[in-house]
Structure 1
Amino acid sequence: MKAMRFTPPGYGGRRRDPDEVKRDGWRKQGLLAVSLDDQRLTWPERELVRQLGERLYGARLDKTEDKR
């Protein structure tokens, strides 16, 4: 059996930081991942994100509830 001459995608190399993954997702696929705790956003911006999330996906689970 011969050894592989290349590294399959997702194996080896460097691990990208979460902000780089989010940036690439936005630029390449039009996906936006935003944390409600992101301090780069103003309060009205965070509130808008929260409202959009609730409208699209429903209310968030409380921290005391089990998360799936």
Structure 2
Amino acid sequence: MERKIRTAPTSVKIPPNILQFVDKDVETSGEFSSRTDWIVAAMREFMARRIDILSKRKELFENDGSEKKD
């Protein structure tokens, strides 16, 4: 059986306090041109950190925790 290709959601519900924070940061920082840019950048940053965490975890399990760090 063939798997269906899923599309990305077109909308996400964001709690009002987080949305206000994002909007204020977009207005004041000048780093982002829109709320969407801010959210995409945050997701990319989260993904990078998550990949780092998972690779360290994998490394620990592969080494069985037997290596000691100085």
Which of the five TM-score ranges fits, normalised by the shorter chain?
A: under 0.3
> How high is the TM-score relative to the length of structure 1?
0.26
Whose helix proportion is higher, 1 or 2?
2
Q: Structure 2 length as normaliser, TM-score?
A: 0.26
